[in-house]
Structures are given as structure tokens and as C-alpha cells.
Structure 1
Amino acid sequence: MTADTEAAYKEAAPARTAPAVTGLTVRLCRDPDRFASLEPEWDRLYRRCRTATPFQTHAWLHSWWLSYGASARLRLLLAYRGNRLVGAAPLMMTYRPLPALVFLGGGISDYQDVLIDDSCAGAAAAGLAGGLRRAARRAVVDLREVRPGAAAERVVQLWRGPEQRLGDSVCLELPALPFDALLRRLPGPAARRSRAKVRKLDALGVEYRGVPDPEVPEAVLAMLRLHCLQWQGRGVTPEHRRPRFAEHLVRAVGRMAMTGDAVVTEYRRGSRVLALDVTLTSPELAGGYLYGAHPELRAAKADITTMLLRHDSDLAVESGRGTLSLLRGNEDYKHHWRPVTVVNQRFLLAREELAPALRLYAGQIAGRARLAEAARSRFPALLLWRSRLNNVRAVAGRTAGAGRAAR
């Protein structure tokens, strides 16, 4: 252990009861090139962290950094026992306007977390808690979209200083069961309607196939084109139209497909591809991340949600996952399947001397939430106008990006 690292750990040793950390070295990495080179050992750690989700893979996080991290400062906390990576916190420093340490992956990642080795989880969590305290010397720590039971909870439990816990996004989850078993969970009338939808899909001759790894990049681009087409005139999420999102998704999913952490599926009618979807997987979870479907399917009265869920439920069962996540969003159509509601957590942390900054930061969050709620309830037309404006900007950005690529 270097003198600098040892000093950092002693300063940051948690006051609460924690496992001994003999032989543990915690390093702070600020070098993007070093981040890129971490892939093999990061992936091994990911496989040893039972609670990890696909959004903690190196492929997802490093790709996100390449597309979205330009204006931030990389802060990776890496905990080693000897030469073995046993803990990692993928963080960056931002200014909002206060300095804040936040997870990589924000905005487009449904779950965010740290990684800790299950074989020494207590010691790894203690090491990360100490390293986090040192890294947050002049900043608030804002850990968003933490799934209940996630590894980050262990680190937060060892935090020594002011903290606040807030609710974050709503996620809906189903048990990983064969599709027929999911149908049996529904009330009689709902189950009969869903079986009729399945018969309709079969009558239309809709079949699916997994996209082979070499074809994944082009399939992801085709999925995004269909995604924008299906939402044309109905307010597509602006980020899904932007070149940086496409670049990230092609790069990340292409890599994740090769390691078994993503599956791209195309749905065909004869020789025509009418839909594609991206399913992300981790040791215990599978979740449909994004799909694109041709309007022809909707015109043919095909129920796209049923089509995707039938495939994803069978995929989760066959691969041994325990949970089929519908990911973020509390939409009515998801509740048809009687999912469990899971609310992600948001942890705000600070050192004792930064308690006033933490209160100010939390106040800004509450103020923005009140303004957003007021806009939704009182000015729905304003939100529609903003959505349309964002779509125009996104299309302009995509066109400009295509022009630069052509040159």
C-alpha cells in the first residue's frame, strides 16, 4: 500500500462498525486511458457481484463516458486486495453549480451502482466508503437510481457524515416465469384478452430470431430508426434521436452482445423485419431496454408489448435470471401484467464541514421537483410544446451529425 493511499484510508475509516480492511488498497483513477484498459479485470469483478445490473458493465459505462463524459472529470474509485480488483465506484465530478460526485451513466441508465466482490463484500464496501470520503473532500455526493438491495447500500451504511435519502425513479418488475405462467397470474378476463393477442400474433406469422454478434451494430441502428418512426408525431424521447445516443448504444450493445450481457432480437413477418429490441442482462436480471417497431404492426392490430414480453420472459427463464425488469417508467400498459413496484433510491452524502452545502443541494433538488410537478399539473400544453421543440432540436442535431460523417 502506498503512503498516499494508506493516509487516505486512515483519514476515511468509517466510524460505524466495519470489517477489517487488512491488505486493501484504494486508488483514485482520473485517467480515461486507464479506464479503457480496466475492461478485463472490471468484467471479472462484475461477474463476482451478485447484485450488479447490466448498467455496471465496463462496456456500458466506458461507452457512456466516451459519448457523455466530455464536460466532467473522471473519478473512479478502485479497491484492490493484492492484485485483485474487489471494488469499483464509477464516478465523475460535475458542477450543478455546486461540485458533486455522481455516477457515470446518468440519464440513460435505469440502475446505477458500485461493484463489490461478493467474496469480501464487507471489506470492499468499507474501502470504497473510505475512498469516497476522501474523494468528496470539497463536493457533495449524489448517488442516483440505486436499486433496493444494491451494493451501494453497503457503502452508504458506512458513510460518516451528513446524509439524506430520497426516492428516485419507479421501476416495475416481474418474476422470471415462462410466459404461460405470467398469463396465469392475470385475472380471468385479462388473461383471455392476452391469449387472444398471442393468437393474433401467431396468425400474422410474426417470428423472431436472435441477431448474431457481427450483425448487432447495424441491427441497433435499424432499431433506432424504427423507434423514431413508431413515435413520429407522438413525442419520442429527444435523447433517442441524438447521434451521441446512437453512437453509445451501438458501441455498448455490440460489446455486451459478445459477452452475453445483451441480446438483440428481430421480429419478422416473412422476409421483412418489422421490429427489433435490445434486452440487457446481468447475473440475476433481464430487462427490455429499448425497441423499435414499424407502424405496420400497429396497423395490423398486433400487440407489441405482448410480443416483446413473450420473448423476454422466455429469455429470462432460459438464461436462469430471477427477475424480468420492465425498467424505469410507471406506464399503465405495464401494470396490466401485475408487476411489483420498486422505487430506486437517491443518496445525498457530504463530509461534516459540507453540511450547509448538502442542505442547499437538497433544496435545489426539491425546488426543481416542485416546478416539474407544477408544470405537469398546471401547464400541460407547455410540456407538449417543449417536447416538440426538443424533437426539432434532436432532428437538427442528427442531421448535422450525418452531414459531418458524410464529409
Structure 2
Amino acid sequence: MGSPTRSRTAPALRAPVSSVPVAALLTVSRSGRAFTTEICADAARFGAIAPEWDALYRASRTATPFQSHAWLHSWWQSYGTGGGGRLRVVLVRRGGELVAAAPLMLLFRPLPVLVPLGGTITDFSDVLLDESRTDEETEAAVTALARAFAELAGTAVIDLREVRPGAAAERVYARWTGPRRRLADSPCLELPAVPMEGLLARLPASRAQRVRAKLRKLDALGIEEREVPADEVPVAVGRLLELHRLQWEGRGVTPEHLSARFAEHLTRAARTMVASGDARLTEFRLAGAVVAADLTLMSGALAGGYLYGADPVLRARKADVATMLLRAGARDSGAHGRATLSMLRGDEPYKHHWRPETVRNQRLLLARPHLAPSLWLLLARAAGRERAATLVKRARKTEEGGDKG
């Protein structure tokens, strides 16, 4: 049998959650202001709340696909259990209904920090808030979540990476009364979710003309698109990853994309997300053979091209893969009323051909006063990494200039 559930009732959040021995399911209940807060520390329990989590996810207007239960729970199964982290998922209920949540884990680096689930393969992190309620009810849920964060922060700094501007996590940050800092994080490039003609209208006439020529070339090749149904996703993800490997062979592929745990996670998450409409897996065929595949993740307001792979034969046939993928993504996103077509993290030059808007993610750090030294240490490390990255870029530019001379 597992360890017993521990619960307490009090009018306000006073003692740190971590002072309670961690059980298979750690529950800390509070009756203050009619909210109940639970800290879920058990993977099976986290898996079992999928229906109510997904209902909250769909009621949270700023949520991205990376806050879906399928993505987060799958990530924990593949990455969280062997990495020394401890699950700490914050669940806030009112009248028994889930109204706010924060998918967190406790790490020691070596100081204790609470970070979002998802790790480095996740482009956006956030908390969830039920925004289908009145403004007053939503604000009350924000307050309850902030109080839960304050309790968790009794022994660990909260470090939220890759938070989009306007995310629900900003509302918790605004309520924080202890030491806090906001840092710049990864740049993301975004386009409006409009049909291809709308994207072409954003370009200079000469460039738009070249893109139209590329589109005619794709049509002349006879490349066919096929949306993969959920039951075929496992096999199709395998093809996608193999095409991704071929595409980057000899050109510095991201090693994690070739790992068994990434394949396991992506297969499991994508199957569920395709079935629920939170992802689309598209294959592109030439003469009956799959020559490219693309996985796009979707929420109510955003679609983001997460991973694609293309057979080198397309380069040999002068097919512009980026244009092919963007046309498919723009057509689907515009048809479903989404506002944003995100190219996700990264500032690669080819993305700028489409004149996207640069939107920089944020890093939100929250601490209690007695842990301010830990917060300052994290800030010092971040500043050191930023300086090192600047020096590396400067050195590369110097080398390139020397080569030209």
C-alpha cells in the first residue's frame, strides 16, 4: 500500500508544503475563501485527472498546446521519473471544480528550485486559469494560486522559464509580494494565422513573386498532403523522426531529437493530441512515397510548427520545404480561427523571410524573503551565461570577418 494522504484545514496558507512528509499522494487542503489546494506528487494521480485538467486547459485562453495534459503527463513519464525531479502539480479547486493549476516539479541544482514540467523540449510554459468565469471569480482563483505558490516557495525558488507575454503566469507574478525578477528568455517568431495570400501580402512585391514561383513548382511536382489519423500516429511519428534525421544528417541535428525517450514521448503525446484536436500530423507524398512530415501543435488561439522532417530528395528536386509547410499551416490555422501561427523558439534567418514579429519569452523568478540569496544566485548565473553567449557571438563574428579578409 502507498503512504497515506495527508490533509489539513486552516483559514490561510501558513506552513510550507514541504514541511509535510511527501506521500505517494501529497494533499494539503485549505478551506480559506472556499478554495481547496492540492499538491499532487504522484504520477498515477496526475494521469487520472486528465479529463478535468483538459477542461481547465480549454477554459484558459492563454494556454498553449504545451499545457495540455497529454503533453505534460507524457513528458513526465519519459523525462521526469529518471531525472531526479519530484512531481509538484498545484491543483486549486472551488466547490470541487478545478479552477487553476500549475504543472511544476522540484529539482536540486544544487539549490532547490520549482520549475515547470516540460524541460528544454517545451517551447512555452504557463499556469492554467479558468477564464470562463466572471472576472471576480477568475481573480479569486489567481489569488488562491498565488497563495499556493507562496507556500511552495517556503523551501524553493520558483523559476518559470519560457513564459509568453500575456500568459496567465504573469498574473501570479503581479500578485507576488516577495523578491521577484523578470528576465528575457528565448525569442519566438510569430505570424498572423491568415491564408497564404495574406502572408504574401506582407512581403515586398519581388519577394512575393519569388514565393509564388516556388508554390507553382511544388504544385508542378505533384506533392500530395495527407493528414494522419490518430490510430496511425505511432508509425507516422517514426517516419517523421527518420526524415528529420535524414534532413539534418551531417549538419548538426539536435541530439535529443534522435533519442529513444524523445521518440517515446512524442509518439505517446502526439497520438492523444491528434485525437483531441490539439495536434496535426501531416505527411507529404511524392510519387506515393512519404518525402516530408510535419507535426503542428495547436491550442485555441495558437498553432505552432513543432517538428518536421524532409527527405533530401526534395532539395534535389528544387522543392522549397519551408514554403510547402507554411502553406499547409496557414491554410489550416486560418480555417480554424486561430490568431497566431508561431514558428516557436529560435531566430533562424530563414524564418525572417516571412517578416514575422519577434516575441520574446520571459523567465519569471519568485522567492520568499528568506530565500532571496538563492534568487540572487540564480540571477548571477543567468547573467554569467548571457555574458558568455555574447562573447561567443562576438568571437564568431570576428572569425567570419577575418575569413572574408
Q: Do both share a fold (TM > 0.5)?
A: yes
Which 5+ residue runs of structure 1 have no aligned equivalent?
13-20, 381-407
The one-character-per-residue Cα deviations of 1:163-193 (angstroms, maximum 9, x if unpaired) are 1110000001111111111111110111001
Q: Could you tell me whether the CA contact under 8 Å between 1:280 and 1:289 is conserved in 2? A: yes
1:360 aligned partner:
377
Task: Report the Cα distance in structure 1 between the residues aligned to 2:87 and 2:229, rounded to whole angstroms.
Answer: 34
Q: 3-state DSSP class of the match of 2:119? A: coil
Task: Report the Cα distance in structure 1 between the residues aligned to 2:270 and 2:53, rounded to whole angstroms.
Answer: 17
1:97 aligned partner:
110
1:351 aligned partner:
368
The one-character-per-residue Cα deviations of 1:30-80 (angstroms, maximum 9, x if unpaired) are 111111101010001011101100000000000000111121001011000
The one-character-per-residue Cα deviations of 1:278-321 (angstroms, maximum 9, x if unpaired) are 01000101111000000000111110000000000011011111
- The alignment status of 1:115 with 2:128, answered yes or no, reads yes
- The alignment status of 1:4 with 2:8, answered yes or no, reads yes
- The alignment status of 1:244 with 2:261, answered yes or no, reads yes
Q: 3-state DSSP class of the match of 1:315? A: helix
| Amino acid in structure 1 at the alignment position of 2:8 | D
- The alignment status of 1:286 with 2:303, answered yes or no, reads yes
1:202 aligned partner:
219
Task: Report the Cα distance in structure 2 between the residues aligned to 1:10 and 1:315, rounded to whole angstroms.
Answer: 49
Displacement of 1:379? 6.6
Give percent identity, aligned residues only.
57
The one-character-per-residue Cα deviations of 1:339-378 (angstroms, maximum 9, x if unpaired) are 1110001011100111111111211121122223333443
The one-character-per-residue Cα deviations of 1:235-290 (angstroms, maximum 9, x if unpaired) are 00111011111100000001101100000000011211100000100010111100
Q: How does 1:125-274 map to 2 (within 5 A)?
A: 125-274=142-291
Q: What TM-score comes out, normalization by structure 2 length?
A: 0.89
Q: 3-state DSSP class of the match of 1:9? A: coil
- The alignment status of 1:43 with 2:54, answered yes or no, reads yes
Displacement of 1:221? 1.1
Q: Could you tell me whether the CA contact under 8 Å between 2:14 and 2:151 is conserved in 1? A: no
The one-character-per-residue Cα deviations of 1:98-117 (angstroms, maximum 9, x if unpaired) are 11000000201111000000
- The alignment status of 1:337 with 2:348, answered yes or no, reads no
- The alignment status of 1:22 with 2:26, answered yes or no, reads no
| Amino acid in structure 1 at the alignment position of 2:58 | R
For the aligned residues, what is the CA RMSD? 1.9
Displacement of 1:11? 6.8
Task: Report the Cα distance in structure 1 between the residues aligned to 2:110 and 2:7, rounded to whole angstroms.
Answer: 33
Q: 3-state DSSP class of the match of 1:113? A: coil
The one-character-per-residue Cα deviations of 1:185-220 (angstroms, maximum 9, x if unpaired) are 110111001001001101111110101111111101
| Amino acid in structure 2 at the alignment position of 1:57 | S
1:31 aligned partner:
42
Which 5+ residue runs of structure 2 have no aligned equivalent?
1-5, 17-31, 398-405
Q: Could you tell me whether the CA contact under 8 Å between 1:9 and 1:26 is conserved in 2? A: no
Task: Report the Cα distance in structure 1 between the residues aligned to 2:260 and 2:318, rounded to whole angstroms.
Answer: 32
1:59 aligned partner:
70
Q: 3-state DSSP class of the match of 1:167? A: strand
| Amino acid in structure 1 at the alignment position of 2:128 | L
1:307 aligned partner:
324
Task: Report the Cα distance in structure 2 between the residues aligned to 1:234 and 1:279, rounded to whole angstroms.
Answer: 23
Q: Could you tell me whether the CA contact under 8 Å between 1:9 and 1:127 is conserved in 2? A: no
Count of residue pairs the alignment pairs up: 374
- The alignment status of 1:296 with 2:313, answered yes or no, reads yes
Q: Could you tell me whether the CA contact under 8 Å between 2:64 and 2:302 is conserved in 1? A: yes
